[in-house]
C-alpha cells in the first residue's frame, strides 16, 4: 500500500502553490507516495489540481468575515466541512496532514487532530490567518516563512524554512514566441495574484500612452483576472503595444523567464518566487491584507535594493508607467536589483518541509 499524505487548504495561489511545491518534493523523495488535497469547489485548487494530476477532495468552508448571519453561515459550514474531512481522512488514511492556510485548512486540520493524525502547518505570511492561529496549538511543527511571525499559539513549535516555490518555475528558458512577443523586445510581466488586480490593471491602462514611442522596443505579458480581458486587450491594441493578455497564466515559469521586469502584488508566495528567480520587480501591495503584511514584506525587499514599492494611495497618472520606463531600459539597475532579490530567496524551502515531516513522523513525533 502506498504512503499517503494530505495537503489541506488553498483558495488562492498563495496558499495552493507552496503545497504543490512540497507535494512535488515528496514525490521525488518517496516514489510510491500519493499526495491528496482537501480544498473547496470555489478555490483556485478546483482549476489547478486537475492539471497537476493530484486528487482533490472538496469540503464546505467559508471565511469568518462580517458579523451576524455571515458568521453563522461560516460556522455551519465549518461543522459540515469538519464532518466531511473526517470521512475523507478515514478513507485516505494519510501518514500526516500539512495545512497550508485558506478556508479548507481549518476543518481538515481539526479533523486530523480529532483522528490523531500528525498535523503540520505552513504559514506564508508574517501575520498568520485564522486557520493557522487556531490549529497551531496542536501542530507537530509550524513551518514559517518569516522569523518574526506573530499570532500563533504560545505552545506552537516553529521552524523557519522559507516559503516553498514550485520547482517548475526554475530552469525554464526564455520563450517570447510562446506569448506571441518579439524576441528582441523588453518584456514586462504584470499580474495581481491568481485573481488579477483591477486597480493595477486600470493604473497601467491609464499610463499606456507613455509607452507609445517605445512600442518597437517593449511588450507585456499581463494576467488581468476574470472580466477585464477584452477591455485590456483593446487598450493595448489601441496604443499599438504587443501584449499577451490572459485571465490566468498557467505557464508561469515561462512568463518569469521571459520577463525583464515584474509588476505584481507583494503576497508571500509571489515574493518567494521573484526572490528565488532573481527577478527585479515593482511591488504594489494589496492594501487590505491582514495586518498590512504585504506592505511590510514589500518594504523589506525595497530596503535590500531588490524591488521598488508603489502603494495604491500613491497612484496618480503617469506614476506606474514612469517607474516601468525608468527601470526597463536600465540594464545595470535591473541586474543589481535581480542580484539583491536572489540573495533573499530560499530555494530549498519545499525540500526542507518535506524532509522534516518525514523525519518527525518517522521518529514518532
Q: pLDDT by residue (tens digit) across 277-329?
A: 999 999 999 998 777 889 988 998 999 999 999 999 999 999 999 999 999 99
Give the per-residue pLDDT at 365. Answer: 47
Encode pLDDT of 33-58 as tens digits.
999 999 999 889 999 999 999 999 99
Return the minimum-mean-pLDDT range out of 53-67, 146-160, 242-256: 53-67
- How many Å apart are CA 105 and CA 271, to the nearest integer? 22
**Nearest residue to 169 via CA among 349, 306, 356:** 349
Q: Do 299 and 157 have their domain in common?
A: no
Q: Do 199 and 275 have their domain in common?
A: yes
Across residues 236-252, what is the average pLDDT? Answer: 95
Q: Do 211 and 333 have their domain in common?
A: yes
Residue 148 is inside which H or E element, if any? none
Average pLDDT, the chain: 93
Q: Do 194 and 317 have their domain in common?
A: yes
Q: What's 80's DSSP letter?
A: H
Q: Do 309 and 175 have their domain in common?
A: yes
Across residues 232-245, what is the average pLDDT? Answer: 96
Give the per-residue pLDDT at 41. Answer: 92
Residue 340 pLDDT > 60: yes
- For residues 161 and 349, is the Cβ–Cβ distance under 8 A? yes
Work out the percent of the chain whose per-residue pLDDT is above 90: 78
Q: What is the DSSP string of 86-120?
A: HHHHHHH--SEEEE-SSTTHHHHHHHHHHTT--EE
**Nearest residue to 164 via CA among 276, 56, 278:** 276
C-alpha to C-alpha distances, 240 to 180, 212, 224, 233, nearest whole angstrom:
14, 7, 18, 11
Residue 205 pLDDT > 50: yes
Encode pLDDT of 80-122 as tens digits.
999 999 999 999 999 999 999 988 999 999 999 999 999 999 9
Q: Do 245 and 157 have their domain in common?
A: no
Q: Do 161 and 174 have their domain in common?
A: no
Q: Do 185 and 121 have their domain in common?
A: no
Please name the residues in contact with 34: beta carbons below 8 A apart, sequence gap of 6 or more: 2, 3, 4, 5, 55
Domain that holds residue 71: 4-165+347-362
Q: Do 87 and 133 have their domain in common?
A: yes
Query: The CATH number of the domain where 222 resides is what?
Result: 3.40.50.2000
Place of cell 527585479: 280
Q: Do 174 and 311 have their domain in common?
A: yes
- For residues 175 and 156, is the Cβ–Cβ distance under 8 A? no
Encode pLDDT of 1-16 as tens digits.
689 999 999 988 889 9
With both helix axes pointing from N to C terminus, report the angle between 13-29 and 349-362 in degrees, rounded to the nearest 10: 60
Give the per-residue pLDDT at 364. Answer: 47
Q: Do 202 and 308 have their domain in common?
A: yes
Q: Do 205 and 90 have their domain in common?
A: no
The tally of domains found in the chain comes to 2
Across residues 263-269, what is the average pLDDT? Answer: 93
Amino acid at each position: 500500500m502506498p504512503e499517503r499524505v494530505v495537503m489541506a487548504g488553498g483558495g488562492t495561489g498563495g496558499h495552493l502553490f507552496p503545497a504543490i511545491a512540497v507535494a512535488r518534493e515528496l514525490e521525488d523523495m518517496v516514489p510510491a507516495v500519493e499526495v491528496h488535497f482537501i480544498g473547496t469547489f470555489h478555490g483556485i485548487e478546483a482549476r489547478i489540481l486537475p492539471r497537476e494530476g493530484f486528487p482533490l477532495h472538496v469540503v464546505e468552508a467559508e471565511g469568518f468575515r462580517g458579523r451576524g448571519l455571515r458568521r453563522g453561515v461560516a460556522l455551519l459550514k465549518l461543522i459540515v466541512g469538519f464532518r466531511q474531512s473526517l470521512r475523507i481522512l478515514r478513507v485516505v488514511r494519510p501518514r500526516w496532514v500539512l495545512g497550508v492556510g485558506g478556508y479548507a485548512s481549518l476543518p481538515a486540520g481539526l479533523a486530523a487532530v480529532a483522528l490523531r493524525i500528525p498535523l503540520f502547518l505552513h504559514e506564508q505570511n508574517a501575520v498568520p490567518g485564522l486557520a493557522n492561529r487556531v490549529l497551531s496549538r496542536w501542530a507537530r511543527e509550524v513551518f514559517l516563512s518569516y522569523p518574526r511571525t506573530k499570532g500563533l499559539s504560545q505552545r506552537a513549535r516553529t521552524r523557519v524554512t522559507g516559503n516553498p516555490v514550485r520547482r517548475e518555475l526554475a530552469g525554464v528558458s526564455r520563450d517570447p514566441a510562446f506569448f506571441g512577443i518579439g524576441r528582441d523586445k523588453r518584456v514586462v510581466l504584470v499580474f495581481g495574484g491568481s485573481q488579477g488586480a483591477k486597480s493595477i490593471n486600470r493604473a497601467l491602462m491609464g499610463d499606456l500612452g507613455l509607452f507609445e514611442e517605445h512600442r518597437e522596443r517593449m511588450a507585456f505579458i499581463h494576467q488581468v483576472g476574470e472580466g477585464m480581458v477584452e477591455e485590456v486587450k483593446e487598450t493595448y491594441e489601441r496604443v499599438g503595444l504587443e501584449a499577451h493578455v490572459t485571465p490566468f497564466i498557467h505557464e508561469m515559469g515561462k512568463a518569469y523567464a521571459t520577463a525583464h521586469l515584474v509588476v505584481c502584488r507583494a503576497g508571500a508566495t509571489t515574493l518567494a518566487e521573484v526572490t528565488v528567480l532573481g527577478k527585479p520587480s515593482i511591488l504594489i501591495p494589496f492594501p487590505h491584507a491582514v495586518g498590512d503584511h504585504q506592505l511590510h514584506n514589500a518594504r523589506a525587499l525595497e530596503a535590500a535594493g531588490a524591488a521598488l514599492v508603489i502603494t495604491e494611495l500613491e497612484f496618480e497618472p503617469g506614476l506606474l508607467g514612469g517607474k516601468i520606463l525608468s527601470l526597463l531600459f536600465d540594464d545595470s539597475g535591473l541586474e543589481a536589483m535581480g542580484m539583491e532579490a536572489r540573495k533573499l530567496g530560499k530555494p530549498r524551502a519545499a525540500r526542507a518541509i518535506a524532509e522534516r515531516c518525514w523525519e518527525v513522523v518517522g521518529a514518532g513525533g
